[in-house]
Amino acid sequence: MTEKSAWLEINLRTLARNTRLILEALGEDVVLMAVVKSNAYGHGLIRSALTIWSAGAQWLCVNSVAEGVELRHAGMKAPILVMGYVPPAEIPYLISENLDVALFDLNFARLLQAEALRQRKPVYVHIKLDTGMHRLGVLPENFFEFLEGLEAFPALKIRALYSHLAYPEDQQFTLKQINTLKEVLFNCQRRNLFFPMVHLLNSRGTFLYPEARFDAVRMGRSIYGLDKFIDTQPALQFKTRIVQVKTIQKGEKVGYDCTFETKRRTTLAVIAVGYADGYPRALSNKGEVLIAGRRCPIIGRVCMNMSMVDVSDLTILPKPGQEVVLLGTMARSQITASELANWAATSDYEIITRLSSSLPRVYIE
């Protein structure tokens, strides 16, 4: 099978360029921890992570042990931080594959200690401080009690202290988070406690609060070209093909639930993509696609594997098999992840990370 009905194109040169631009902006004193969780934000874990690491990123961050193990088996020697939930059954693989892990719970620390002793090797941890987001992390008022508890687990080696921003665009709240972390660090210094590394900022935070970069920053969206703080570019395009073209009369219904009625004699194209591929159903009667370099609206419900598009205004009638851009650039027109997110009332993170893993990924080098 050579011709694909729907697929992603990932430009690895763009990923590498984005990474180098970020490293240049950070300078030599700040380490880049590249976030490649959730299949590298839909870009494909192995090829994307290898490209980003080869371009100079010093660390890789994943959500799960499985992602870390997959990277190790692909030959990546970079330090890797597992930031998400680790089931007890996966702790042996975490340690054997030399993966760092987020730590915020003493019961989990006890399990790590037992397995580290069994394997006769240390496990490196990044203590997660909850500075106000109230997701994972040790609360500041419990922090020193937590550190005292860790003294019972000498096989655990503290690599870093870190936290995570909730809303970088809210300066007042973000500064409160930054100051909470600084206050904990100050109190640690008073007790002669120091951390090899401190990291807090995500992509937006890195450029909005450069004074809080500390030793390292964790960046994802800027690497994938979702931000425009510097001249990074999107590396991913989502494409499909036309299956059928037909002309229907004014007053006809289109699609499931009859949510669209033609206001004129309409030429529509049925395209080979739907919500099972990660193209949101919320784009029904809202989204647009690019055909022959021009925007054409989605009409009717986005179906599981197909969608309908009004192509009446195109100068030349499109043909079955013709390429359609759902996300990306064609000629001088572009549809961005942020635009899709606005139409679907969601975030650009969700748009790209929900792109189906079954979609073929075509890598451009």
In sign, the C-alpha dihedral spanning 81, 84, 88, 93 is negative
Angle between helices 143-150 and 106-119 (to 10 degrees): 20
Q: How many CB atoms lie within 10 A of CB 348?
A: 22
Q: What is the C-alpha to C-alpha distance for residues 37 and 214, in angstroms, rounded to an integer?
A: 22
Which of 4, 37, 93, 121 is an active site residue?
Answer: 37
Which of 228, 256, 263, 319 is an active site residue?
Answer: 256
For tokens 């609060």, name the residue: 209
Q: What is the C-alpha to C-alpha distance for residues 91 and 127, in angstroms, rounded to an integer?
A: 17
CA distances from 179 to 55, 143, 196, 283 (A): 33, 15, 19, 41
Query: 277-314 as b/e, with b when 16 or more CB fall inside 10 Å?
Result: bbbbebbbbebbbbbbebebbbbbbbbeebbbbbbbeb
Instruction: Give catalytic status of residue 37 as yes or no.
Output: yes
Q: Which residues are catalytic?
A: 37, 256
